[in-house]
Amino acid sequence: MDESKIITQLSIFVNNEPGRLANVCKIIKSVGIRVRAFNLAESAEFGILRAIVENPDDSFEKLREKGIIIRKTDIIAIAVTDAADSFFEAADVLGNAGVNIEYGYFYTGVSDSVLFVRVDDTEKAVDILEKAGIRLLDDAEI
């Protein structure tokens, strides 16, 4: 299994109150973190800002030191040529192998479009997708 194909995502907990997201973004900016992609999911009481950043380990420590509630999560970045077709192909391969997709989000960058997915068995998913010929991106390609 190619471990370089496992991407570290930062999950930042944000209280669901006016100004709280702006405060977190201000801290991200103040410590010099470069965000490549993000997704914001909410519930009644809190939100989760899922972010793909440069230097995730260093960024994690900087945010934790500022009192941010944060955790690291392993995800996979799937290269996308056509959103519906690429997502179907990856979901079909993973589902047939018994790997569950917990969530995902889509990002269109300058050179590539990417589908980020969290699965219940990251290493197995990388192996299965690579064997199926599905192109996965490493951190340097995002």
Q: What is the model's pLDDT at position 101?
A: 95
Q: Which of 53-62, 64-73, 75-84 has the lowest mean pLDDT?
A: 75-84
pTM (2 decimals)? 0.87
Q: Is the pLDDT reported for residue 110 higher than 70?
A: no
Nearest 5°: phi and psi at 121? Answer: -145, 90
User: What is the residue-averaged pLDDT of the chain?
Assistant: 91
Nearest 5°: phi and psi at 30? Answer: -65, -30
> Among candidates 124, 128, 118, which has minimal Cα distance to 92?
128
Q: What is the model's pLDDT at position 3?
A: 84
- State the pairing for strand pair 6-15/70-80: antiparallel
Q: Which domains does the chain carry?
A: 4-73 (3.30.2130.10), 74-141 (3.30.2130.10)
- Give the mean model confidence (pLDDT) for residues 126-141: 93
Q: What is the model's pLDDT at position 17?
A: 87
- Give the mean model confidence (pLDDT) for residues 66-92: 90
Q: Which residues contact 72 (CB under 8 A, 6 or more apart)?
A: 8, 9, 10, 11, 56, 57, 60
At residue 33 the predicted structure's pLDDT band, cuts being 50, 70 and 90, is very high
- Report the share of the chain in percent with pLDDT over 70: 96
- Report the share of the chain in percent with pLDDT over 90: 73
Q: What is the model's pLDDT at position 134?
A: 94
Q: What is the model's pLDDT at position 122?
A: 96
Nearest 5°: phi and psi at 38? Answer: -155, 165
- Give the mean model confidence (pLDDT) for residues 1-11: 89
7-25 confidence digits (pLDDT tens): 999 999 999 888 999 999 9
